Structure 1
Amino acid sequence: MKKQLFLLLGVVFHLSLYAQTNFAVHIDGKDNNLRIGMDSICRNWTLEAWIKPDDDVWKEQEVIIGGGEYSKLNSLDYLPLIIKKGYLYNFGADLTGCKLPVNQWSHVAATCNGTSIKLYLNGEEVAHKDTATVILPGAIGINESSNSIFGGLIDEVRIWTTGLTKKELKAWMYRPLTNRHPQFDKLKGYYNFDDLSDDISLNRAAEGRMSFHIRNGRLKQYEKQPLAYIVENDNKLFHTDLKKQKLFKTVVLPTEWDAQQGEHDFQLLKLKIETQGKQNPKSVRELTLDFSTCSSLADIERIHVYNAGSKPHSETLIELIEGGLQVKSSKITIQLPKNEFTQLKHGTNYILITADIAADASLGNRIEAYLKTVKINNKYILPIHAKDCLPIAITTNSYSNPKVLRVLQWNIWHGGNHLGKNGPERIINLIKHSNADIITMQEGYGSQKKIADALGFYLQTPSLKDNLCLYSRYPLKKINTKNKFFSNPAFVQMPNGKEIYVNGCWLRYAHRPAYASSIANYGMKPSGWVAEDSILGLVDIQRLIENDLSPYISESTPIIIGGDFNSGSHLDWTHKAAPLHFGYVAEELPISRYMQNNGFKDTFREIYPNEAERGEGTFAVIYGQSQTSRIDFIYSKGKNLRTLSSKIVRTMPEIDDVWPSDHAAVLTVFVIE
């Protein structure tokens, strides 16, 4: 009897060791906002999820998968899978399914195969219509307002770029996805929420610059409402029968940041390995790297390989090759030790490759590493590579060269609070990593002192809860203005005794519509944008130049104006670049023309004059449908001020971490001569 009891306890311990815990996300139906920011999918798609409503009282609409912010566009369906008065519903086809049960788990799905849209409940078709649509699956459990927030539990959200069949839905709805699914290469989003902690949850299907990870926030970010959270899933129909560990997806994510001369541990790339199961864990044995596209191997002193944990932002890095390695040839194979740090865990595993950049690395040289193969156990894997990242090059900083001035322009979005308590910390980390000497900032709204203290910089702001903030490594001499919400002028006292005029501004935007985020609409009139900009933003910048700049400068004064101009540039909205802007052309946009006519250089377009080849935008960088609207600028003027490089910064220095603002930043490096 004792022997039998001992064996039974042993079996229970063994099972608990490898048991998979399944979690679902709880959405409060009031204020929770799970953004994923996914871009549109055209005519072939599937959306599916398990849901459990929290009561039997239905709103007019409750969203399962919706478009999210800035999604009310007439060119697509922004409510592709919702509940309308208790019935499953697809907005684009005006398609109504059956009434949904309450207080129990149900599997719901909408599919489109290019010719017809179908709704499914628990694997059975409940409605269809012969049509096809473009959808925008940008958020989970919400569209844009609290009126449509779902209340209850959601799990196993899957987003596909193909119309799954009934057979495929039924075969996989009761179990976790694996790479054995017949349509696995068409999987664009997979959210099982098991890793949700505080502000983010990963998209396990991610493979590009925009990973579409969940940004867990609130509609009213200033109120102390709880974020969405996970609970143990009590869905008895769904079976997490994962045992022996298997690979799910292996993806390489490169950086978009330029490397600075003398920089240590510059993040070159991250290897993201998704696994399923705990039994017989696999190990990463070998990495083969190709540096042949680098301009010069002499720019790299050493490379390092780290275990970077299971989250995009890792607090602890464990070096796998002590002291790193020299790059002696363009192709190198790295043998990794077999230990607990190269052994893969169930879920997400990050391996980080960094580089120590030589202090005398050549400015402008290209730097890149390509991960050719990964050996896991005894099998060589060809990883998936992100294809939508910007090239990176060698740049410099004011530590290496006292003539250099690095300027960062960034609207941080309501103090950076849209990612909860970690949002401002991400803002600070990015600014520190940029090594910016001056930051022109909008929407500080209560975070400016925390940021200034963390940087150790001088701060100029109308008040500690105001919009505009100006930070500087060097002393600031304030210039008074009557337009504190729009203009924040000062002289920066450089170490060599010279003064530079700097202003961080914010201009009013066109309302009908704010074309920066609504270009994917049919029937818009660019002449209207021009007209509104002429009476709003153009007036603001004219006042700034006439009242806050011209009276204080001489012909020799170097001038830098960074700001959220809330207007596009005539240098972007050309016939040549029309395909980037939903076919629209707006070459008469007045604000950028005014700046150009007054002798100012658009520093980004100065470095990248081809608007069709470099059409990346700054608003709204976290939404896939809005990637080419450039409304944030750094303008310069002055004979002694030369632009060395300029870049739209739209990814975190910590590769694959979520972006904390709705605006990208602009980083321009100047040489003061």
Structure 2
Amino acid sequence: MRLPSLISAATAALSLFFGASPSSAAAIMSPHDAASPPGTLALDVGQSLFTFKYSTPNPDPSNWIAVYQSYYGGPVEQEFVAGSLDWSYAPDATGKVLVDVSNLSPGFYKAYFLAKGGYQWLSKPIDVIIPGSGPIEFVTDRIITQNARQGSPFKAKLGRLIANPKDNATQFTKVTSYGTDWVNLSKDGTISGTPGKKDKDTNFVVKATASDGSSATIKVQIPVRKAGEPLVEEIKVMSYNMWFGGTNVKDYHNKQIRFLVNINVDIVGVQESWNGQATRLAQALGWYYWQSPNEVGIISRYPIVETFPEQSAGGSIRIELDGRESQLIMWNVHLGFDPYGPYDFCYDHMPLAQVLNREYQSKRTPQIMEIVSAMQDALSEADDIPVILTGDFNAPSHLDWTEATKKAHCGYGFVPWPSSEFPIQSGLIDSFREAHPDPNAEPGITWSPIYLDNNGRPEPLDRIDFVYHKGQSLKVLRSETIVAGEPAAEPNHQDNEWTTDHAVVMTTYKVERSDRRAEL
């Protein structure tokens, strides 16, 4: 794979997360005080960005104000997570200070007033925005929310779907009124309400108006289920390698959100989501999320109610699609990338035994063995609570490398790739091959839509991203590999609408009611 050659570029792209900060020092407030810090912090509107007004009863020469991404890096637990993007000292009891953010991109950020060069709060943090140029706009022109149900409270958030925010004064209003009496819309873009017994699928238009007078609209559809019916009867599940969070492509955030909204996916397992990228996506969409301390995460329209112990290459959560009536266990993994088996075969012409030995050296084999072992309890109860496994496995499938497909694989026939053998032996089903049994007719290539040449040699093209499942309540309706637009090949990828070097795989499941109910 190409990861080693991209490390330096990605490090530069993500370096904002590891900026400077004052040296650490002792805290000055008790835990009780920390819950309600006595200081204040506010943006001085109309002054250079960001000019802050602050006050504290505990002045100190090393008190400081720091700006972080809204989704990652800040000391949310009053402990170091990552370096600030920019900062300045705020030594007085009251005063103003400029934190120069001229090198940062437009978007949402969070500011912290911190004590004595450390990370204990002197005030509650505040949300701040670096405005973009031009009028306000939404990332897309329409959105379908998660399902609502007659008689049940509903909530969805639109406030972070603004592609060109101005400040925190943007107000949202409902334009269409007919048939939307049950829908409430707050000024911050939060939709709430309870559909009545006569309410059906609800469509309306929302208008966002910025402080500069510019405005934009988005069409909203809320699917409404009848009282007593299952809330969720279909789900779309995706495996999505973000390629260093998407940072190799310009305007990656808006492009990613536009893609996820337009494809109307429900649950996404993301890989290469370093530094809170899963959190970023979920905040923009108003979804639930789990972000590993490493580089995998899961985002979901529906509530994430439990997380389980993480393994070396991934982790798992429990999602309630419809309370305890309909749940699933979701795993997401990213297996080791080097050495890469198709290179061993196609470039170095290694024998099968040597390649399989190198699969173990890559850590993929021990990683998938560890994952499958950790899944055993959930798999044994999958007819009560179904199990889904997504991931970038960095290896093909034995269902694809067969005697019938050897022409597509450098003349090699059947290969028992361990990273697919172990999941299937454990009872998991490869959803893409369930929908497309013939790998010659539908190879399902996910690596790579942009890496086509490898030092003058054709890049081996393979399906290395997967959505597996087990459980009688999940039925595959369709499965597909997807890219947005027509991505230009590397190195001319910076302006692509598609922000990653993988295609995604997305499976649509019919969710049937289980005959049994799990007791948790």
Please report the TM-score for the alignment, with normalisation by the length of structure 1: 0.40
Aligned equivalent of 1:635: 468
* Structure 1 residues 55-107: Cα deviation after superposition (integer angstroms, max 9, x where no partner): xxxxxxxxxxxxxx9599xxxxxxxxxxxxxxxxxxxxxxxxxxxxxxxxxxx
Matched, 1:222 2:49: no
Taking a change above 3 Å as real, the CA distance of residues 588 and 399 of structure 1, as seen in their structure-2 partners, is: farther
Looking at structure 1, the residues matched to 330 and 438 of structure 2 have their Cα atoms a distance apart, in angstroms, of 27
Residue 500 of structure 2: which of 658, 661, 673 is its match? 661
Amino acid in the other structure paired with 1:666: V
Amino acid in the other structure paired with 2:508: V
Aligned equivalent of 2:509: 670
Deviation at 1:448, TM superposition (A): 2.3
Deviation at 1:584, TM superposition (A): 2.4
Matched, 1:613 2:446: no
Number of corresponding residues? 294
Looking at structure 2, the residues matched to 412 and 145 of structure 1 have their Cα atoms a distance apart, in angstroms, of 13
Residue 459 of structure 2: which of 626, 634, 637 is its match? 626
Residue 645 of structure 1: which of 478, 483, 487 is its match? 478
Taking a change above 3 Å as real, the CA distance of residues 404 and 605 of structure 1, as seen in their structure-2 partners, is: same
Aligned equivalent of 2:266: 437
Aligned equivalent of 1:579: 407
Check the 8 A contact 2:143/2:261 in 1, yes or no.
no
Looking at structure 1, the residues matched to 398 and 6 of structure 2 have their Cα atoms a distance apart, in angstroms, of 34
Taking a change above 3 Å as real, the CA distance of residues 611 and 460 of structure 1, as seen in their structure-2 partners, is: same
Looking at structure 1, the residues matched to 259 and 502 of structure 2 have their Cα atoms a distance apart, in angstroms, of 13
Structure with greater strand share of residues: 1
Deviation at 1:572, TM superposition (A): 0.8
Aligned equivalent of 1:515: 341
Looking at structure 2, the residues matched to 220 and 575 of structure 1 have their Cα atoms a distance apart, in angstroms, of 44
Looking at structure 2, the residues matched to 585 and 219 of structure 1 have their Cα atoms a distance apart, in angstroms, of 39
Aligned equivalent of 1:458: 288
Deviation at 1:545, TM superposition (A): 2.5
Deviation at 1:552, TM superposition (A): 8.1
Q: How does 1:16-165 map to 2 (within 5 A)?
A: none
Amino acid in the other structure paired with 2:406: A
**Structure 1 vs Structure 2 CA RMSD:** 3.7
Check the 8 A contact 1:517/1:619 in 2, yes or no.
no
Aligned equivalent of 1:45: none
Aligned equivalent of 1:600: 428
Please report the TM-score for the alignment, with normalisation by the length of structure 2: 0.50
Q: How does 1:258-657 map to 2 (within 5 A)?
A: 402-420=232-250, 422-446=251-275, 447-463=277-293, 466-483=294-311, 485-495=312-322, 497-511=325-339, 514-516=340-342, 520-534=346-360, 536-550=363-377, 554-556=381-383, 557-624=385-452, 625-626=458-459, 628-652=461-485, 657=496
Looking at structure 1, the residues matched to 376 and 437 of structure 2 have their Cα atoms a distance apart, in angstroms, of 27
Paired residue secondary structure (1:591): helix
Taking a change above 3 Å as real, the CA distance of residues 264 and 551 of structure 1, as seen in their structure-2 partners, is: closer
Taking a change above 3 Å as real, the CA distance of residues 428 and 146 of structure 1, as seen in their structure-2 partners, is: closer
Paired residue secondary structure (2:319): strand
Amino acid in the other structure paired with 1:456: G
* Structure 1 residues 375-403: Cα deviation after superposition (integer angstroms, max 9, x where no partner): xxxxxxxxxxxxxxxxxxxxxx9879830
Identity %: 23
Deviation at 1:481, TM superposition (A): 1.4
Looking at structure 2, the residues matched to 451 and 577 of structure 1 have their Cα atoms a distance apart, in angstroms, of 38
Paired residue secondary structure (1:577): helix
Looking at structure 2, the residues matched to 71 and 503 of structure 1 have their Cα atoms a distance apart, in angstroms, of 23
The runs of 5 or more residues in structure 1 that have no matched partner are 1-68, 73-143, 148-216, 225-262, 267-313, 316-358, 360-396
Check the 8 A contact 1:526/1:584 in 2, yes or no.
no
Deviation at 1:548, TM superposition (A): 4.6
Taking a change above 3 Å as real, the CA distance of residues 552 and 609 of structure 1, as seen in their structure-2 partners, is: closer
The runs of 5 or more residues in structure 2 that have no matched partner are 17-140, 145-162, 165-200, 202-221, 226-230, 453-457, 489-494, 513-520
Check the 8 A contact 1:537/1:565 in 2, yes or no.
yes
Looking at structure 2, the residues matched to 399 and 571 of structure 1 have their Cα atoms a distance apart, in angstroms, of 40
Looking at structure 1, the residues matched to 3 and 288 of structure 2 have their Cα atoms a distance apart, in angstroms, of 39
Check the 8 A contact 2:271/2:391 in 1, yes or no.
yes
Amino acid in the other structure paired with 1:547: A
